[in-house]
Amino acid sequence: MTRSEGPATRQIHAGYTPGEPQNTVTVPVYQSAAYEFESFAAARDTFALTRVGNIYSRNANPTNAVLERRIAALEGGVGAIAVGSGQAAVAAALLTLIAAAGPGQHHIVASNKLYGGTSDLLGDTLADLGIEVTLVDPLDHGAWAGALRETTRAVLLESVGNPVLTIPDLPEIARIAHAADVPVIVDNTMGTPTLHRPIEHGADIVVHSATKYLGGHGIAIAGALVDAGTFDFTARPKRWPRLTAPYPRFGGLVFTEAFDGTGGRTPFLVLARSKVVHDLGPTLAPATAAQILVGIETLDLRVQRQTATALQLAQFLAGRPEVARVHHPGLPDRPEHARAQRLFPDGVGGVFAFDLATGADSVETFVDALELFALAANIGDARSLVVHPATMTHSRLNAAGRAEAGIDLTTIRLSVGLEDVADLQADLERALDAVGAHHFSHDSEGH
């Protein structure tokens, strides 16, 4: 830039050269909507997907790319895509597989014990789009096998079911799905890559609400989808024509021939980024990606402490007369205890649920008596949280849907934070004492 250029030119161009490297130790925030190409040929080839590079921040961003590589490394995947929320990650993963199959009738088999937002997506929005969904008990292997069809494009489950901590036998479910040439998507938000890596147990695609444990501080909404690069779309090429045959939209490119996972570019991820993310725009802001990256730096430290505290609180609650049952597979009397020890040898995380023995009318008394547990619809935060699933996170489910999900009107979900365990236990004890006093006083009046 020379002084002969006018002020309007200088105020746009002075002091910056695109692509100039810096030596920051932390990941910089690349706050740019667009990217300058070095030549016409570079622009042409990048848009044609034959050259690696940034096109527009709706699809990809250098800050987001670091987050993608980091999450893929944590999960043991080939590559990843960061998006604006966990809900967007689930939707993008499913819609990419639907898109890969091209026009026609499409079907998904999913666990009936899922996060409420995912249940809404499957039972309402995808139904509006003509995509049929069959919900099955994740613990019933025969139900998984019986639900699969020729039109099934994906199997979806959570590594740890939300909110009652169902632990499905992922290796067996993956075996069943793969025998029918169907890819397996696992939401590992609750499990976290610190405690469980679904790809090592047969998953093909892993999704995360990075808002939760990866971010860890309740300050940023983000999501990610990770591709293991293991599913062979060419085994049944007619089932996936958008990947295995020339795609006119991209100049006749055959994705399974053009992309082998090098640089994280698998056929699935390139289709997800260039079609679903590009067309629907579930963009993650780079500043948010930077916040999630900072959170990930302490992931294992936080998760280890939260996991240990949650188990201690679950053991405490299991001994209280005001509690009917505790949904925590770390307890020896739970039916999934042995499976949890096999698949989650370091614990099942910092979230669990329990049912009050004193009736649904005691829930409000209990929740309002808590002082440290914040009433907030989130998990994985540094601070401890409480929700009532039936009226909050899973309120769109009817009574039958709640029953299938294992949720009662007395079910309360806790997300354990980083506070001192003694203080959290005292908080729960005060709330249970309030419930007991309220319940027994009403019993006395009834007699």
Q: What pLDDT tens digit does each residue of the chain (447 aa) get?
A: 455 788 777 766 767 777 777 788 888 999 999 999 999 999 999 999 999 999 999 999 999 999 999 999 999 999 999 999 999 999 999 999 999 999 999 999 999 999 888 999 999 999 999 999 999 999 999 999 999 999 999 999 999 998 889 999 999 999 999 999 999 999 999 999 999 999 999 999 999 999 999 999 999 999 999 999 999 999 999 999 999 999 999 999 999 999 999 999 999 999 999 999 999 999 999 999 999 999 999 999 999 999 999 999 999 999 999 999 999 999 999 989 999 999 999 999 999 999 999 999 999 999 999 999 999 999 999 999 999 999 998 888 788 888 887 888 999 999 999 999 999 999 999 999 999 876 655 554 554
Directed axis angle between helix 299-318 and helix 421-446, to 10°? 30
CB 98 within 8 A of CB 105: no
Ranges of CATH 3.40.640.10 domains, the chain: 59-295
CA distance 124 to 195: 32
Q: Can you give the pLDDT at residue 1?
A: 46
Q: What is the CA radius of gyration of the chain?
A: 24
Ranges of CATH 3.90.1150.10 domains, the chain: 299-446
Decide which of 3.30.10.20, 3.40.50.20, 3.20.20.140, 3.40.640.10 is the CATH code for 59-295: 3.40.640.10
CA distance 222 to 215: 8
CATH architecture of 299-446: Alpha-Beta Complex (3.90)
Structure tokens at 230: 């293991």
CA distances (Å), origin 398, targets 87, 123, 136, 162, 390: 21, 12, 16, 17, 9
Directed axis angle between helix 286-296 and helix 62-75, to 10°? 30
